[in-house]
Amino acid sequence: MQYEAKFRNSECDKTESVHSASFLAGLIAVLLCVGVQMVHSSSLTSRPSEQDTIFLSRHVTWLSLSLIAAWVLSRLSAEQVAAWCRPAFWGYVFLLVIVLVPGIGVRINGAQRWLRFSGLSFQPSELGRLILPMIGASKIMSLRSEGRLNLSTVPETLGPLCLVLPLVAIEPDLGATVFLTLGFLLSLYFAGWPLRYFFICGLGMVPASVFLLVLRPYQMRRVTGFLESWQDLAAAPWQIRQSLMSLGSGGLEGTGIGAGWQKLSYLPEANTDFVFAVIGEELGLLGTLTVCFVWISVYLSGRTVLQPLPRQSFGWILGTTLLTQLVIQAMANIAVVTALVPPKGVPHPFISYGGTNLLVSLSVVGLLLGMAANPDRNSILVSQTDS
pLDDT digits (tens, 9 = 90+) for 68-81: 999 999 998 888 89
What integer is the mean pLDDT of 343-362? 89
CB-CB contact of 313 with 381 (8 Å)? yes
Residue 113 has pLDDT above 60, yes or no: yes
Residue 360 has pLDDT above 90, yes or no: yes
Residue 131 has pLDDT above 90, yes or no: yes
Mean pLDDT for the chain? 83
What is the rounded distance in angstroms from the CA atom of residue 69 to the CA atom of residue 359?
7
Strand ranges of the sheet holding 111-117, from the earlier edge strand across to the other edge = 106-108, 111-117, 120-122
Residue 350 has pLDDT above 90, yes or no: yes
Poorest-pLDDT segment among 108-112, 268-272, 333-337:
108-112
Q: What is the distance, to the nearest Å, from the Cα of residue 270 to the centroid of all Cα atoms in its chain? A: 19
- pLDDT of res. 229: 65
Residue 319 has pLDDT above 70, yes or no: yes
| Kind plus residue range of the DSSP H or E element containing 141 | helix 128-146
Residue 8 has pLDDT above 80, yes or no: no
- pLDDT of res. 49: 55
Residue 7 has pLDDT above 50, yes or no: no
- pLDDT of res. 352: 93
Neighbours of 215 (CB within 10 A): 10
Residue 5 has pLDDT above 90, yes or no: no
DSSP designation for 138: H
Q: Which pLDDT band holds residue 384 (cuts at 50, 70, 90)? A: very low
What integer is the mean pLDDT of 180-203? 89
Residue 4 has pLDDT above 50, yes or no: no
- pLDDT of res. 136: 94
Q: Which pLDDT band holds residue 277 (cuts at 50, 70, 90)? A: very high
Residue 275 has pLDDT above 80, yes or no: yes
Q: Which residues contact 319 (CB under 8 A, 6 or more apart)?
A: 302, 305, 306, 309, 367, 368, 371, 372
- pLDDT of res. 3: 42
Q: Which pLDDT band holds residue 147 (cuts at 50, 70, 90)? A: confident
| pLDDT tens for each residue of 216-256 | 555 566 666 666 666 666 667 778 888 888 898 888 888 98
pTM: 0.87
Question: Of 38, 37, 34, nearest to 270 (Cα)?
Answer: 38
- pLDDT of res. 379: 47
Q: What is the distance, to the nearest Å, from the Cα of residue 189 to the centroid of all Cα atoms in its chain? A: 17
What is the rounded distance in angstroms from the CA atom of residue 93 to the CA atom of residue 96?
5
- pLDDT of res. 386: 43
Residue 91 has pLDDT above 60, yes or no: yes
